[in-house]
């Protein structure tokens, strides 16, 4: 049986709700989202339920992480469907602030992250992205005061950046990464997959296959350059234009010179048509 989550849209109402939960002394987990929920998000919610007694999901399309040329205006917004999905998961609270609530007039504070936020991956192509994410997530953490926060491994650099931020700022939140959920053909689930045309959707899983090819070669002891070039060539042959297709140290995200310098993670961002996909696999 599903029950309706409490929906909160103002800071005073959120404070009352969070005070109510913490007075009961139970653990809470936050799943930060921008809505347009799919099975990948639901797997984060299910992990949150295993870790904590109460689950909060935030739905906020955060304007500060979009560049002016990006899709803030057209980002899918599917409130009714999201609400039905979260009710079916028995989520306790949905935090759904509007832009003015998150960034009131005169708002003038940013969280500038370095370390994994400055390694020449997403940050090279979206220079303000992690400042926008970190500022929004930092606020979500202080507003909701969760014990745990669950993020998908699909946005692997984001996961590393928010983990570092929570630790550096002593936010008292344990950040937990959750495995990427894939369609049956291997495409990583993403709210932006709805942008793909039929032909692009058919080609899209090749990105995953390309990463797996490089991972297989690295595991077999191939030299890094050759292994990555083989995977990148497969992605390009499938119609992708690559922003990056790289193997990095899985913790620091810094470049690695040799396989023995691992653990390794292959990270990729690539465009098919006008849609930019990001994905990653462990090696």
Closest separation in Å from C-beta 95 to ligand PAF = 11
136 is a site residue for ligand PAF (CB under 6 A): yes
The residue within the footprint of ligand PAF, chosen from 92, 155, 243, 279 (CB under 6 A), is 155
Cα–Cα distances in angstroms (integers) from residue 208 to residues 48, 118, 225, in the given order: 26, 25, 18
149 is a site residue for ligand PAF (CB under 6 A): no
Instruction: Return the number of the residue (138 or 231) whose C-beta is nearest ligand PAF.
Output: 138
Cα 181 from Cα 61, distance rounded (Å): 21
280 is a site residue for ligand PAF (CB under 6 A): no
34 and 94 Cβ atoms separated by less than 8 Å: no
- The torsion region of residue 37 among left (phi > 0), alpha (psi -120 to 50) and beta comes to beta
Does residue 41 carry a catalytic annotation?
yes
Contacts of 92 (CB under 8 A, 6+ apart): 5, 6, 21, 54, 55, 56
The residue within the footprint of ligand PAF, chosen from 65, 180, 214, 275 (CB under 6 A), is 65
Contact segment (CB under 6 A) with ligand PAF among 27-35, 227-235, 253-261, 269-277 equals 27-35
Instruction: Return the number of the residue (169 or 230) whose C-beta is nearest ligand PAF.
Output: 169
Binding mask 32-61 for ligand PAF (x = CB under 6 A): xxx---------------------------
The residue within the footprint of ligand PAF, chosen from 62, 113, 157, 180 (CB under 6 A), is 62
> With contacts defined by CB under 6 A, how many residues of the chain interact with ligand PAF?
10
Closest separation in Å from C-beta 10 to ligand PAF = 19
List the catalytic residues.
41
């Amino acid at each position: 049986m599903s029950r309706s989550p409490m929906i909160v849209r103002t800071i005073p109402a959120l404070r009352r709700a969070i005070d109510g939960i913490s007075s009961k002394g139970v653990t809470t987990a936050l799943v930060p989202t921008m809505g347009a929920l799919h099975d990948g998000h639901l797997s984060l919610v299910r992990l949150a339920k295993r870790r904590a007694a109460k689950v909060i999901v935030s739905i906020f399309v955060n304007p500060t992480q979009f560049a002016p040329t990006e899709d803030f205006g057209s980002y899918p917004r599917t409130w009714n469907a999201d609400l039905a999905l979260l009710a079916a998961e028995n989520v306790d609270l949905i935090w759904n602030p509007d832009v003015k609530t998150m960034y009131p007039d005169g708002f003038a504070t940013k969280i500038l992250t370095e370390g994994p936020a400055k390694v020449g991956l997403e940050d090279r192509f979206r220079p303000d992205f992690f400042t926008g994410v970190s500022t929004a997530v930092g606020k979500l953490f202080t507003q909701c005061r969760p014990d745990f926060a669950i993020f998908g491994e699909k946005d692997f650099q984001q996961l590393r950046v928010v983990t570092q931020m929570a630790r550096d700022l002593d936010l008292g939140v344990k950040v937990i990464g959750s495995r990427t959920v894939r369609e049956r053909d291997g495409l990583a689930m993403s709210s932006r997959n709805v942008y793909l045309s039929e032909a692009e959707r058919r080609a899209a899983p090749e990105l995953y296959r390309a990463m797996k090819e490089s991972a297989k070669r690295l595991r077999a002891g191939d030299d890094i350059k050759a292994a990555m070039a083989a995977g990148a060539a497969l992605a390009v042959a499938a119609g992708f234009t690559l922003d990056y297709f790289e193997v990095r140290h899985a913790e620091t995200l810094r470049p690695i010179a040799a396989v023995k310098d691992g653990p390794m993670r292959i990270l990729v961002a690539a465009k098919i048509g006008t849609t930019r996909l990001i994905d990653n696999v462990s090696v």
